A and B are shown apart, each in its own frame.
Chain A
Amino acid sequence: MGLFDTLRSVLGVRTDADATREADPEDLFGMSTAYLTMEADLGFAPVGAAALCFSSVDSTDFDATVDDVEEILRAGEAETGTTFYRHEDDHGYHWVVLEDDDPEDLVTSVHFAADTFVERGYGSRLLAAVFGFERARDGTRAYWLYSFRRGAYYPFVPTGGRERDNRLEFKLQSVLDGELDVEDDESYWYPLWPGTDGGHPWT
């Protein structure tokens, strides 16, 4: 980092350029093994759903892109059994929510959708990919979020209302660090609060 960068960072005027690195849909495949680790080492089973969050653009081309994504996901439903639905949240963001008991299929579908957006030049509209987990013994829900802005993962454990369990988040980070590219600056661990109490971030 040069002197100029240091100055800019101290003054807080650095931009996207210093994100961990460029977001890359291939990063999403890291979740395949993360699913296994979460269950084997931490007792967090897949919740059977994952989702992709994006903001819409008012253009025919963008609508066509979303249509294509939907069409291929629908075609894949017969093959993999991964069902999906579209949803718009209270913030005006759009979601593609995927449901399947097999995490492998979830990862593949989320990757496919994200990759299509990027291929068509709408990578900047992608906000986050969200993968859900639940601990059987107490019903605690935990999420791994992939931020397309930062090109990194971070943990999120909402505990009702607008509260989160920092300690468990740090623990998830300590166990998965190395396996996933985890955002090491906690001030970027922005929550995606569930719209309803007891709901998922995509509800």
Chain B
Amino acid sequence: MTRPPVEQSPAAPSVHPPHLFPAYTSSVRRAPHELLIPLPDALRDLQGPVFGEGRLRPDDNDTTRNGRVNGEPLGERILVRGRVLDSRGRPVRGALIETWQANAAGRYIHQRDQHDAPLDPNFTGTARMLTDEYGEYTLVTIKPGAYPWRNHPNAWRPAHIHFSIFGTNFTQRLVSQMYFPGDPLLAYDPIYQAIPDEKGRQRLVSRFDLDLTQPQWALGYRFDIVLGGDAQTPFEEPDHDH
């Protein structure tokens, strides 16, 4: 009764990973088999939800402070600063960004994380912020550790910070991950390697920036994010035919 899987990708195949990517084993029973139907304008034209300052609290963008119980979280303090841009390079203002991550030892606070590494009582790894008039955000956090997972023998996720971003349009909604430059685990990670285009992969690697680095306090990383999905300004893909 069931049809065989159809090899397929979302609308922009050279940018986003395909749904079915067997090396990422969780995709095998969860990727849809039927071809996706091109999104009708009735859905495409929806505005994204508008989030105001009222949803944020002081230190929401600073995981070194917002999870403290009795001291500072352990690990390498970092500052991540960047811009959220649309596909024409224009700033996206007032975008809600939410981030979550493992602690310096590679452990999530999540109940289901069974990795045998210490939890940090002063760190939840959760932050949220709105982009400003320049489309900019600043995240203060701790550099996350790599951690093992069960995808394949000796599998380790590269250090990463999850980013959830709401743009101005339903189709700009993006959940992605920020990686760190020079991480040797990137070459072995099926989640990262599932991105078909090398340039696309590179866009998710942050850049160490001495200008952003704060003396005596924190290393600085630059991480810009470009949202697609702007119906009025379709982005030209170099190889859109497969």
Does A pair with B?
no
